[in-house]
Structure 1
Amino acid sequence: MDRTEKREFVASLAAVFAETSMVVVTRNEGLTVADVTDLRRKVRAAGATYKVAKNRLATLALDGTRFEGISPLLKGPTALAWAADPVAVAKVIVEFAKTNDKLVVLGGALGTQTLNADGVKALAELPSLDTLRAQLVGLISTPATRIAGVLQAPAGQLARVFGAYAKTGEADAA
């Protein structure tokens, strides 16, 4: 890479850091090409990006962004993963790391908050954004369903009482 390419790469990476909400740093020592291809496919399916970048260039791109706190993690063979949905990228990386011991989660950053490896793993255990939305809609609709059930219950009870009186009246008349 010549100087111009390096400048362009740093600028593009800085632009990505300005737009994203979550960055995960991994150590990818010993991953085969097939493993990395599989990981990238899974990361892309989750709407995230996985990129191996030179540590020095990544550090330059991090300067002045809210993710500056992850700069000390960039030592040795590292790679970065990022996405707008923080839970999605954390889930994919952590799940892949469970099945492949050559990928190690070093940490990450969620906005200005720097996370260690346990923080990224805890974030991965949260439900996805779509699941949270579904749960919220369920919570909102449940009270309405209960109110409708409570309002219908007295009418149903009255109908049963009238039905019971009618049956006793028929039994007395017979």
Structure 2
Amino acid sequence: MNRIEKTNYINNLKKDLEANNAMMVYHYEGLNVNQLDELREKMRAAGALLKVTKNRITKLALKETSYSEAENLFTGPTGVALSKDPITLAKILVNFQKSNDKLKIVGGIMDTKLLAPSDVAEIATLPTLDEARAKIVGILQAPQQKLLSILLAPGRKIANLAHAKSLKKD
């Protein structure tokens, strides 16, 4: 890469960093191309971005961004995963790590908070935005269903009683 290409690459990486809410850093040493492609596909399906970059260039891009504290995470063969949804990002990485022990989560940063690998694993246990919405809808619907069954119960009892009386008269 010449100087102009490096500058353009750093600027594009900065734009990608600023456009996302979370960044997770991992080591991929020992993963083959098929495994990296599988991870890349899972990330793409979730709307996340997966990048394998040179540490020196990435550190230059991190300067003057909200991710500057993560500079110490970049040692060895490092990859970066970026997303607007940190929970889904953490879930994909943790689940992939379970099936591929060569992937090592180094840490990350979310909303300017530096994350350790244990923090990433803890975030992966949280419900996603869609799961949380479904739970809220279920909670809101439950009282209405109970109220409706209570209101309909007297009418049902009267109907059953009338039906039973009509059967006795015959």
TM-score over 0.5 for the alignment? yes
What's 2:55 paired with? 55
User: 1:73: Cα distance to partner?
Assistant: 0.6
What's 1:21 paired with? 21
What's 1:101 paired with? 101
Question: How many matched pairs?
Answer: 170
Partner amino acid for 1:56? R
Give CA deviations for 1:56-79 in whole Å, capped at 9, x if unaligned.
211121122222221111111111
Give CA deviations for 1:34-81 in whole Å, capped at 9, x if unaligned.
221121112112211111111121112112222222111111111100
Query: Matched residue of 1:158: which SS?
Result: helix
Give CA deviations for 1:69-123 in whole Å, capped at 9, x if unaligned.
2111111111100111112211111111111121100111111111110111111
After TM superposition, the score normalised by the length of structure 2 is 0.90
User: Sequence identity, in percent?
Assistant: 37
Distance 1:35 1:163, change over 3 A: closer
Between the aligned partners of 2:49 and 2:133, the Cα distance in structure 1 is: 24
1:124 equivalenced with 2:124 (yes/no):
yes
Between the aligned partners of 1:21 and 1:167, the Cα distance in structure 2 is: 69
Between the aligned partners of 2:164 and 2:33, the Cα distance in structure 1 is: 77
- In structure 2, stretches of 5+ residues that fail to align are none
Instruction: Give the superposed CA RMSD.
Output: 1.8
Query: Bigger shift: 33-42 or 110-119?
Result: 33-42
1:151 equivalenced with 2:161 (yes/no):
no
Max Rg structure? 1
